[in-house]
Amino acid sequence: MYGSDDPRSRLQAGASGGATGSLRFAAAEYVKFHDLPPQETASNGRTWYARGQNFVVAYTEAQPGTVLERADQIDEYVLIVPERGVEVALTAGAETHQIPGYSLVIVPPGKSAASVRNAGKIIRVFSAQSPDLVALASNASAYEKAHPNIPPYEPWPAPPEGFRVRIYSLDVPPQEGRFGRLWRCSTVMINMLPLEPGPRDLAKLSPHHHDTFEQGSFALQGSFTHHIRWPWTANYEDWRADDHEVCPAPSLAVIPPPAIHTSAGSDPHLNQLIDIFSPPRVDFSKMPGWVLNAHEYPMPTEQDAK
């Protein structure tokens, strides 16, 4: 259901995998951070946590001197510094780096600390393999039982050159035929979607569904209405009403499979989403040139990816 000018119209049908056979459907999750108290508060910053089945998002409003630490992180995570004027000093293992604003960073497993030099927003995206982070999520109770239609989590292969800090500028010009700005590691895939001036054209939405993976949509700027519709089955008791949920930034929407969904920015000025997938998407990864660091991270074998 993509328009002909949408790069996703070239994705292979069925690339998201076959349905699991379940006719039970999970609800979507909507976490509007400013409607909730932060899970962590210090004199130099506030952090909110929310999760999907396979990932955890930590959103921090940092002040100068805020330090975001992981003492013994089990796997890779992504740190996003979305504002140009914000600088971060990152130490991970034996490495030390000065991270400029407007960057995306892959942080290796183990000990790490990000010291924020000036006030700004910081987003971190983890897999859900860290029990302490899962427990902090404001919507943790929604995942006390695994959601249906999502296969068990399996990380993607480690980078052949080993785990290390990898820093990428978000200054990536658009390219015809490429969808967004995609990076992946062994745990997650991030799509930094373009900044959209003004509301989305409601005559050009893109309703679609995923068979076997959920999507996290983090509103970084503006406000978004998430339109979600679940399939009808023979059993009326399985039906769910449509959602048309308004989520101002900062917020996280988690869209379960196989719900049909599309999102529309509605702020009159600027709107921006960050899409999150864990583990990375196979169909996006198969599109030549879409994943900007694909040369650093191998895909699973065809058998593993099924």
Structure confidence at residue 10 (pLDDT): 76
Query: What would the two tokens of residue 296 be?
Result: 């650093």
Q: Write out the E strands in 128-259.
A: 166-169, 182-184, 189-192, 196-197, 215-221, 223-229, 243-248, 251-255
pLDDT at 3: 73
User: What distance separates the 2 farthest-apart alpha carbons in the chain?
Assistant: 58
| Pairwise CA distance, residues 8 & 281, whole Å | 13
SS3 for 143?
Answer: helix
Among 151, 149, 109, 105, CA closest to 129: 109
User: What is the strand order of the sheet 88-92 is part of?
Assistant: 67-73, 110-116, 88-92, 95-99
246: tokens are 């308004």
How far is 242 from 244, CA to CA, in rounded Å?
7
β-partners of residue 166 are 106
pLDDT at position 2: 65
Give the 3-state secondary structure of 14-53: CCCCCCCCCCCCCCCEEEEHHHCCCCEEECCEEEEEEECC
Q: What pLDDT score was predicted for residue 304? A: 57
112 touches 149 (CB < 8 A): no
- Look up residue 21 and give its two tokens: 């056979």
What is the structure's pLDDT at 13?
Answer: 55
Question: pLDDT tens string for the chain (306 positions)?
Answer: 667 677 887 786 544 433 444 578 999 999 999 999 999 998 889 999 999 999 999 999 999 999 999 999 999 999 999 999 999 999 999 999 999 999 999 999 999 999 999 999 999 999 999 999 999 999 999 999 999 999 999 999 999 999 999 999 999 999 999 999 999 999 999 999 999 999 999 999 999 999 999 999 999 999 999 999 999 999 998 899 999 999 999 999 999 999 999 999 999 999 999 999 999 999 999 999 999 999 999 999 864 554
Question: Which two structure tokens, joined as six digits, stand for 47?
Answer: 């952090």
Amino acid symbol at 142: A
Q: Do strands 182-184 and 110-116 pair parallel, antiparallel, or not at all (unpaired)?
A: unpaired
Please give the model's pTM, rounded to 2 decimal places.
Answer: 0.93
In sequence order, the 6+-apart residues with CB closer than 8 A to the CB of 222 are: 196, 248, 249, 265, 266, 267, 269, 270, 271, 272
Is-contact 187 279, C-beta < 8 A? yes
Which domains are delineated in the chain? 7-293 (2.60.120.10)
